[in-house]
Structure 1
Amino acid sequence: MSTPSSPSSTIVKLSPECQQYYQDVRIKNKYQGVVYKINKETNQMIIDKTFQNGCSFNELIQCFKENECSIIVFKYVVLNSPKLYFIYWGSETAPQSDKVLYSNAKLTLAITLKGIDVKIAGTKNSELTEEIFKERGTPKQA
């Protein structure tokens, strides 16, 4: 008799489109960013949304929803230099099972997606402000 696997033991697989959309952001400049989502029925990471080139930082912030988790790759310009951000959003009010599932998926994506400049995580909006993005994307002075 089999038992359903718990979220902590579930391996999230990437759909073939995940890597393609990442390349569309990173290399082809087709999009400014992409929001990844987990299809809980298939335990597969899929594309939830894309950001058109020229979108505002406010459009990105709107994706950080209460009671939800998400993973976002977003190109943001700091000091006239585009930086590729890998963003993990795990709202402090999201269900614990979602946090565990997305945390596992974050590790899978972080290994798979090459060329990320900045990794950033947040559980509340105050942790993902534009000022923080600028600070994290600015090279440190020696």
Structure 2
Amino acid sequence: MQSRSGVAVADESLTAFNDLKLGKKYKFIIYGLNESKTEIVVQETSTEQDYDSFLQRLPENDCKYAVYDFEYDIGRGEGKRSKIVFFTWSPDTAPIRSKMVYASSKDALRRALNGVSSEIQGTDFSEVAYDSVLEKVSRSAGSH
């Protein structure tokens, strides 16, 4: 699957996603572009449960994509829920070229990942803070 920018999604990117979604093998996956900027590849997978350790993996000056298995409890005795959240991390300080390639390649990855519930666009850490994501995820959950 290719994006408008001609960037393809590596098979391993889909395999890792399915391992997270179906196998609950990972808590999060960080994706990036390969050296030649032709393919979206897995840069890291983690079983680390702490949300802060996920945030620490997002670089201050470069773009990434990420998928996070976000667990939350909305109260009302409904117990924990889990949503798969897709992140496009594009900090203001990232190089323009990098921001352009990531922006134009996002759709190929996003379309390839079936089962994502929410999408977060982050340009600084306040937009990807736990509470910001929780608010967006619980809003998209809606009430039955």
* Length-normalised TM-score, structure 1: 0.87
Segments ≥4 residues shifted beyond 3 Å? none
| Percentage of identical aligned residues | 23
Partner of 1:128: 128
Q: Distance in 1 between matches of 2:37 and 2:108?
A: 16
Quote how far apart the aligned CAs of 1:55 are.
Answer: 1.9
Aligned to 2:84: 84
Opposite residue 9 of structure 2, the aligned amino acid is L
Contact 2:88 2:121 in 1 (8 A): yes
Q: 2:23 aligns with which of 23, 28, 41?
A: 28
Q: Shift of the alpha carbon at 1:134?
A: 1.1
Is the contact made by 2:8 and 2:40 (CA closer than 8 Å) also made in structure 1? yes
Secondary structure in structure 1 of the residue aligned to 2:69: strand
Query: What CA RMSD, in Å, does the superposition of the two structures yield over aligned residues?
Result: 1.5
Kindly report which structure 2 residues correspond to 1:61-140, keeping only aligned pairs within 5 A, or say none: 61-79=55-73, 80-138=80-138, 139-140=141-142
Seen in structure 2, the aligned counterparts of structure 1 residues 40 and 10 have a Cα distance that, compared at 3 Å, is farther
Instruction: Name 2:76's counterpart in structure 1.
Output: none
For residue 42 of structure 1, report the CA deviation from its aligned partner.
5.2
**Structure 1: segments with no counterpart, 5+ residues:** 1-8
Asked whether the 8 Å contact 1:11–1:104 carries over to 2, the reply is: no
2:105 and 2:49 map into 1 onto residues whose CA distance is 26
How far off is 1:19 after superposition? 0.6
Matched with 1:45 is 40
What TM-score, normalized by structure 2, do the two folds share?
0.86
Count of matched residue pairs? 133
